[in-house]
Amino acid sequence: MNLTAFLRLFRILLVFTRYRLDQILAPLPLPWYMRLLLIGPWKLYPAPRDLSRGARLRLAFENLGPVFIKFGQILSTRRDLLPDDIATELAFLQDKVPPFAPAEARQRIEEQLGVSIAEAFAEFSDEPLASASVAQVHSARLHDGSEVVVKVVRPGIEDVIHQDIQWLYLAARTLEKVSREGRRLRPVEVVRDYEQTIFDELDLYREAANASLLKRNFQDSPVLYVPKIYWDWCRHKVLVMERISGIPVTDIQALRAQGTDMKKLAERGVEVFFAQVFRDSFFHADMHPGNIFVAHGSPDEPQYIAIDFGIVGSLTPEDQTYLARNLMAFFKRDYRRVAQLHIDSGWVPPETRVNEFEAAIRSVCEPIFERPLKDISFGQLLLRLFQTARRFNMEVQPQLVLLQKTLLNIEGLGRQLYPELDLWRTGKPYLERWMRERAGPRHQWQNLRQHMERIPPLLQTTHRALDNIAQWEHHPRTHRKDALALRLLGAALIALGAGTLGADPNTWIQTQPIYWLSLAAGVWLVLRR
Task: Write down how long the chain is.
Answer: 529
Amino acid at 69: I
Q: What angle do CA 52, 56, 62 make, to 5 degrees?
A: 145
Contacts of 4-11 with CB under 8 Å at 24 or more apart are 4/163, 5/163, 5/166, 5/167, 8/163, 8/164, 8/167, 9/167, 11/64
DSSP string, 358-400: HHHHHHHHHHHHTS-GGGS-HHHHHHHHHHHHHTTTPPP-HHH
- Segment holding 147, helix H or strand E: strand 147-153
**How many helices (DSSP H) and strands (DSSP E) are in the chain?**
25, 11
CB neighbour list of residue 94: distance below 8 Å, 6 or more residues apart: 62, 69
Gap between the Cα atoms of 386 and 167, Å rounded = 29
Gap between the Cα atoms of 296 and 299, Å rounded = 8
Question: Could you give phi then psi for residue 237, rounded to 5 degrees?
Answer: -115, 5
Local structure of residue 52 (DSSP, 8 states): -
The alpha carbon of 480 is separated from its chain's Cα centroid by a whole number of angstroms, namely 54
Gap between the Cα atoms of 310 and 204, Å rounded = 8
Q: Which whole-number Å values give the CA distances from 163 to 1, 68, 82, 100, 432, in the listed order?
A: 9, 12, 25, 20, 49
The partner residues of 131 in beta bridges, in order of sequence, read 136
The answer to whether 286 is a known catalytic residue is: yes
For the stretch 69-91, what's the b/e string if a residue is b when 16 or more beta carbons lie within 10 angstroms of its beta carbon? Answer: bbbbbbbbbbbbbbeeebbebbb
Question: Could you give phi then psi for residue 306, rounded to 5 degrees?
Answer: -110, 145
Question: Could you give phi then psi for residue 141, rounded to 5 degrees?
Answer: -135, 130
Dihedral angle over CA of 516, 521, 527, 529, nearest 10: 160
Give the active site residue among 80, 164, 193, 286: 286
Q: Which whole-number Å values give the CA distances from 243 to 51, 98, 307, in the listed order?
A: 40, 22, 10
CB neighbour list of residue 188: distance below 8 Å, 6 or more residues apart: 169, 172, 173, 176
CB neighbour list of residue 128: distance below 8 Å, 6 or more residues apart: 99, 102, 105, 136, 137, 138
Task: Show which residues are catalytic.
Answer: 286
